[in-house]
Structure formats: C-alpha cells, structure tokens
Chains A and B, each alone.
Chain A
Amino acid sequence: NAGVTQTPKFQVLKTGQSMTLQCAQDMNHEYMSWYRQDPGMGLRLIHYSVGAGITDQGEVPNGYNVSRSTTEDFPLRLLSAAPSQTSVYFCASSGMTAYEQYFGPGTRLTVT
C-alpha cells in the first residue's frame, strides 16, 4: 500500500497561473480532504469529500476548486494563483468520516 500520495512535492508558480495538485489514495477510503498549513496557523480545511461525486467547502475554500470523480483521486485546482496561496498543502483520507485521517507527505507551493 502506498497510502496517500501527493504530486508534485514542490512547485513554484507565477501570479495568475493555474495548476492542479494531485492526491491519490489506495486504501478505498470514502473521505478525503485538503488542508493548507501556514506558520502559526496550524492546518486549515480547504475542501473535503465524503465520496465520489460529493464535495463540500471547508474553512478556506476561496481560490480553490475540487472534484471527486473516483474514490481514489481528489485533485485540488488553483484557478489563478495568488501570493497568499503560498503554503504547504496536505491531502488526507479516512474510512468514512473525518476521523483517523491518513496524511500525504505534502506539496510545498510558492507563488511569486
């Protein structure tokens, strides 16, 4: 089992560019989520999904889109990157609920 994988590990974008952060899990988990981690602010929930075709907003959804077409994948899209989106992004999954989440290794994104 690979667990939760995230690509890329590092990314530098210019303001206004778009990109997709990839997240995949091989544990057949229904629940998946995206967080951003910023110094002194802990982890903040961006979007989450309780199953294929079902997504909802978290605490800081603005500027991000998600979709969940399969159980395994939960990509996060930045439509027009801004310097305020410079952060470390973590994807996580769990069996049925938000509890006991398994985290990926993270993607460090810098927007210049």
Chain B
Amino acid sequence: AQSVTQPDIHITVSEGASLELRCNYSYGATPYLFWYVQSPGQGLQLLLKYFSGDTLVQGIKGFEAEFKRSQSSFNLRKPSVHWSDAAEYFCAVGNTGFQKLVFGTGTRLLVSP
C-alpha cells in the first residue's frame, strides 16, 4: 500500500526567502504525485502534479516540485515566499487504479515579516 511522509509539521520562513517542503513516498510502482494547499478555513487546492516525464514540474502560484525516484521524494519549492503563501501543504500519492489518493499529514507554513 502506498504511504506519504511529510517530516516537518511546521516550517517558518521569512517573507522573500526560499522555501522547500519535504515529501517522501512509499509505493511499489510508478507513483502519481501531487501537492495540495489548504488556506485557513478552506478546502484543498491542487498546486501541481507529477505523472511521468520531466521530473521538475511547475505549478500554480510560482511553486515547483522535483521528483527524485532514487530518494523516493517529491519536494515542493518556491524561490521567494510571499505572506499569502502561509497555509498548510499536503503531499499525496495516487495508486495505479486511479481511484485513491493517500495524503501526508501536512506541513503548516508560517511566513514571518
């Protein structure tokens, strides 16, 4: 069965600084990987996805993620964080049956002035 680990519960970044959120997955086959963002009191919104091909994927709001099969990782990055990026971020992996997503426990991003 697939699983996702997000080792950081909270991360604080200064506005304008770069950001990297970690995600490690466990899955026997080719993974389908996602990052979602949840603003306070809101539902989740898809930031980006990886299915195959180029291992560096671009998403919305200036985010990107890199798939590294050798490290079973799919880390999310942003070169310059804005105060509006403060939210909770979830990594997820999908199964080959395309029917279930398994989410990590999330990383809460705090942005300091």
Contacts and interface: CB of A to CB of B under 8 A. Distances in A.
A41 B3 CA distance: 12
Interface stretch (B12-20, B63-71, B96-104): B96-104
Contacts of B73: none
Interface in A39-66: 40-45, 48, 50, 56, 58-59
Contacts, number: 58
Interface string B24-50: 000000001010000001111110010
Interface residues of A, number: 26
Interface residues of B, number: 22
A35 B42 CA distance: 14
Contact of B94 (A4, A98, A103): A98
Contacts of B9: 40
A106 interface: yes
A106 B43 contact: yes
Interface of A: 4, 31, 35, 40-45, 48, 50, 56, 58-59, 90, 92, 96-101, 103-106
